[in-house]
Amino acid sequence: MGQKLNVLVTGGAGYIGSHAVLALIDAGHRPVVIDNLVTGFRWAVAEDARFYYGDISDSVLVESIIRDEHIDAIMHFAGSVVVPESVENPLKYYNNNTAKSRSLIETAVSSGVKHMIFSSTAATYGIPETSPVREDMATKPINPYGTSKLMTEMMLRDVAAAHDFNYCALRYFNVAGADPLARSGQSTVGATHLLKIAVEAALGKRDSVSVFGTDYATEDGTGVRDYIHVSDLAAAHVIALEALVADPARSHTLNCGYGHGYSVMQVLDAVDRVTNKKLDRKMEGRRAGDPDSLISDNRAIKDRFGWEPRFDNLDQIVQHALAWERRLTDIQSA
């Protein structure tokens, strides 16, 4: 690492944001968090990080944080992430993910912040014609969530062309697991992540796990996804940050995944293995817009940043998620 950077982390009290805060601290940088705590938790923010309660669309507040904390770069996680909700309430997503991002980018540029890492998504691809998915493939999102994120990518591209500013948009595949030291994890009530639901069921917090679709063109008929450990994803953000600072003339749009996948059944089997119990599985019909398989081509992030995953092991991902779920029970009952 070169210089110690002051990094504003939007949504730093949420699942991925809180892990990015830990990764920044571990790498010797200084995170400053802004979160409106609509879905995040104040206790999820590392004690070593400065915290501001507020919304990224409050340009006066964001401007003062950038000035007072001498912010060098922004990691932008704040936003809404539930795909079915985006279909039911598109304007919420175009406000939270697009309009508020526009406000944040404008404040960053006017305040002299030159670097931004953006939390994007594989949903920008829609249903790709081939898998693994490369970054140069067509972006045809099929829901407002994916479209709202793609619009922010477009804004970043255009702003970087017009100003002294560069960015890295990281397109996440399926984020899973928890900090190996159980300092943070997926804490959202009613979360829609498969592994979160499965470990809740394993600990008796749910009666069963629904399996949506058993007739996909996959080995066991259930959907295959590229699961990436949240701590590997957080590490990718820190590497991206240092790359942006080292080469301010270059921006990046990169996939974040492992380049291989597991089916729904394989994930549930792993939870059974780790817990030595059998989850109750309820077979349901397909959900609209779910592709058979969604796997990343991750060669670009490896080649460009030298990123190497540390936790590419399904059972280990499950173990970390389970350890966090147990700790979360203690936190919630305290």
Exposed / middle / buried, residue 87 (Cβ in 10 Å: 0-12, 13-18, 19+): middle
**Residue from 125, 145, 216, 262 carrying the catalytic annotation:** 145
Exposed / middle / buried, residue 4 (Cβ in 10 Å: 0-12, 13-18, 19+): exposed
Is 292:217 a contact under the CB 8 Å cutoff?
yes
**Whole-Å CA distances, 295 to 16, 123, 173:** 20, 12, 8
Say which amino acid occupies 199: V
Spacing of C-alpha 198 from chain mean position = 19
Residue 94 annotated among the catalytic residues of the structure = no
Is 306:239 a contact under the CB 8 Å cutoff?
yes
What CA–CA distance (Å, rounded) separates 100 from 42? 21
Residues forming the active site: 145
